[in-house]
Amino acid sequence: MITRLPILAALAVVFVAALAAEAQQVGKVHRVGFLWESPATLSSGIERFRRELRNLGWVEGQNVVVEYRWSAGQYDRLNDMARELVWLKVDLIVAPSSVYTDAAKRATSTIPIVFAVHADPVGSGHVASLARPGGNITGTSLASTESYVKGLELLKEVVPGPRTRGREAGDELRAKGARGGRRSPELWA
């Protein structure tokens, strides 16, 4: 299971970098919008997020206000919640996964959006590329077609010549049963 604690700590760092990038006014209280399922699904992660913010000099209620919006399983409310954050004029929206990122993207094209867990930010159209996301959305991707392709290119450079790269899992399972133990097709360089 993937822990979200380091991801939220990374979000805190990205948040601080985003706010530091703009000219900060002395005494200005920054507002962060946070879209998520519920505090119960991420309670330790939220505390870690707050702790990392404090470690970086951002204290909730002093120089930063976090506007939490919880969907509570009602995903049809996400678009309204994202629009509400835009109406509140938040400086940044934290949208931990692709579902929340999509709602935030529909609500704004100017407020920075940071995602933590995204299966395919390029394929979904949320960013132009991993190297240069463009627009107002950025974050980290756990799995990416671009990353896999680049990894295979690097592997081919380091270890030239034909090599088994992988198998299709479904075919491998079927091969043991339906095809009397024959091996599945292999992907070659």
Q: Which residue segment(s) compose the domain that 129 sits in?
A: 5-143
Tell me what the pLDDT averaged over the chain comes to: 75
Count: domains in the chain: 2
Between 181 and 45, the more confident residue is: 45
**Cα 125 from Cα 84, distance rounded (Å):** 23
Looking at the structure, tell me whether residues 178 and 90 fall in a common domain.
no
Same domain (yes/no): 134, 173: no
Residues 110 and 25 in one domain: yes
- Least confident interval from 22-31, 40-49, 85-94, 96-105: 22-31
> Mean of the pLDDT values across residues 109-136?
86
* Band (108; pLDDT cuts 50, 70, 90): very high
Domain boundary (143, 163, 178) is at 143
pLDDT of 147: 60
Pair 156, 105 in one domain: no
Are residues 87 and 129 both part of a single domain?
yes
Residue 18 and residue 41 in one domain: yes
pLDDT in tens, 161-171: 655 555 444 44
Looking at residue 187, what is its pLDDT?
Answer: 40
| 92 and 153 part of one domain | no
| pLDDT reading at 81 higher than 80 | yes
Regarding whether 151 and 139 lie in a shared domain, the answer is no
What average pLDDT does range 136-146 have in this prediction?
73
Predicted pLDDT of residue 23: 40
pLDDT, tens digit, 9 for 90 and up, residues 31-63: 999 998 888 777 777 888 889 889 989 899 999
CATH number of 106's domain: 3.40.50.2300
- Is 40 in the same domain as 92? yes
Which residues are within 8 A (CB) of 79 and not within 5 positions of it... i.e. 6 or more apart?
Answer: 103, 106, 107
